Amino acid sequence: MYLIGLTGGIASGKSTVARRLVEHGAIHLDADQLARRVVEPGTTCLQAIVDEFGEDVLRSDGTLDRQRLGEIVFGDDEARARLNAIVHPAVRELSGRLIAKAEQEDPDAVIVYDVPLLVEAQVDHPFDLVVVTSAPKRAQVKRLVEERGLDPIQAEARVDAQVGDAERRAVADVVIDTGGTIAHTMSQADALWVDIERTRHAKHG
């Protein structure tokens, strides 16, 4: 099995790179989706969030009101740390299980684990390769406004709230520059796949 950790700032082209690697045959795990799964109704994780932040974070149907919770923790480092202490271990445990399952089903699997908060959450899976997508701040803000409908001030706050690019680059084995066209991003992902295949064959060969 070959495990790639894929990370990058908000709207930095992670999903484009992940999609391209999946087209080449990789298995995609998305930390954001796992974070939703661990807080579904009936989970101990959701109960812990309610115990910590109150019933107000639940919608009337018993699901987590992510927007309400986001408002509580956004801009409050201490509250965010308390939330992360509940969610991150649960996501780590679930991702560990899914990675093990994928390896069992195919010992030669290439798994792309897409973790926006790889640096912040100190995700410590034994990655073979850490790939960071990097775009200039103005490109990230523009994408958030155009593709996700945020207003420019909100978009800028979102980008600024994250770990700086330098800290991500410090953990990167490979940096993919996503500031240009989608075709340019794709061709870098293609080149990365060729390198990965070469590395794996060298190991086995």
pLDDT at site 77: 85
What pTM does this model have? Answer: 0.84
Q: How far apart are CA 7 and CA 131, in angstroms?
A: 6
What is the average per-residue pLDDT within 39-64?
A: 95
More confident residue, 123 or 13: 13
Tokens (6 digits) for 25: 């045959």
Q: Would the pLDDT of 187 be above 90?
A: yes
Binding residues: 11-16
Q: Look up residue 58 and give its DSSP letter.
A: B
Lookup result for tokens 């009101």: 65
Mean per-residue pLDDT, 70-98: 90
Q: What angle do CA 147, 41, 150 make, to 5 degrees?
A: 15
| Spacing of C-alpha 152 from chain mean position | 23
Mean pLDDT over all residues of the chain?
90
Distance CA 124, CA 74 (A): 25
Which positions make up the binding site for ATP? 11-16
Domains of the chain: 2-203 (3.40.50.300)
What are 148-174's pLDDT values in tens digits?
888 888 889 888 877 777 888 888 999
State the distance between the two ends of the chain, measured CA to CA, in whole angstroms.
15
Q: Express as a percent the part of the chain with pLDDT over 90.
A: 59
Q: What pLDDT score does 120 carry?
A: 67
